[in-house]
């Protein structure tokens, strides 16, 4: 009888130890996916209440899909790709699982040489890859008045880098919103809250794909 009790207790202890050993993995798998939206005024929410900014609205949409996420707003109005590169380390802190990279609009508006924009984005993507951070690259398009050569060179940057780095890619961040007066503020450049909601609706499947990549990496 004593031996049976001892064997039973030993088995119970083994089960407890196994559960405890697996607990960190379970906690890691179930932890919210921490996303940083690294961008310019389109991410920051220029001219909008804080709760109407893209990161806030995207987090709500993802949570509405049943996904445990936290989306931090690392948008800086007026920022270029070079500026994003300079602040990358402090804008994307340790513990970040994924980044939505939305930069380039100000490069195009200022006529920055496309090679400079490409180099900055390429370096950002390399550094995030080294940190094993999943990325959703949001593409941007140059204004037509920049000329055909500039537009062609600039617009090609994003799909080419997305393919080279094998990141989730959304071709045009302002798809369905750009040039629509009803969805933009008075400056014609920054979306209204309705415009932001449309951006979120369009980009949501790609954001879900981003979260899925993070979860796949967490799997034991």
Of 41, 82, 91, 120, which is the active-site residue?
A: 41
User: Catalytic: 187?
Assistant: yes
User: Catalytic: 82?
Assistant: no
User: Catalytic: 120?
Assistant: no
What is the distance in angstroms between the CA of the first residue and the CA of the last residue of the chain?
40
**What are the b/e assignments for 83-108, b being 16+ CB within 10 Å?**
bbbeebeebbeeebbbbbbbbbbbbb
Of 79, 107, 155, 190, which is the active-site residue?
A: 190
| 140 token code pair | 């941007």
Sheet containing strand 168-170, edge to edge, reads 69-75, 33-39, 98-102, 134-138, 168-170
Cα separation, 66 vs 79, whole angstroms: 33
Active site (catalytic) residues: 41, 187, 190
């Amino acid at each position: 009888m004593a031996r049976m009790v001892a064997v039973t207790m030993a088995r119970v202890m083994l089960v407890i130890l196994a559960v405890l050993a697996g607990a960190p993995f379970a906690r890691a798998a179930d932890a919210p996916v921490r996303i940083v939206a690294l961008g310019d005024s389109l991410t920051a929410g220029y001219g909008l209440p804080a709760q109407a900014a893209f990161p806030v609205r995207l987090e709500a949409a993802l949570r509405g899909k049943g996904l445990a996420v936290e989306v931090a707003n690392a948008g800086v109005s007026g920022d270029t790709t070079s500026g994003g590169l300079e602040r990358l380390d402090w804008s994307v802190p340790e513990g970040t699982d994924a980044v939505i990279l939305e930069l380039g609009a100000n490069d195009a508006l200022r006529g920055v040489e496309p090679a400079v924009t490409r180099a900055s984005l390429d370096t950002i993507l390399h550094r995030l890859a080294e940190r094993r951070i999943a990325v959703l690259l949001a593409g941007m398009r140059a204004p037509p008045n920049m000329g055909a050569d500039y537009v062609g060179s600039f617009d090609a940057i994003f799909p080419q880098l997305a393919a080279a780095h094998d990141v989730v890619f959304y071709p045009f961040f302002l798809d369905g919103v750009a040039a629509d007066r009803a969805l933009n503020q008075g400056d014609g450049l920054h979306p209204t809250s309705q415009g932001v909601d449309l951006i979120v609706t369009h980009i949501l499947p790609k954001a879900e794909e981003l979260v899925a990549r993070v979860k796949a990496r967490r799997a034991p």
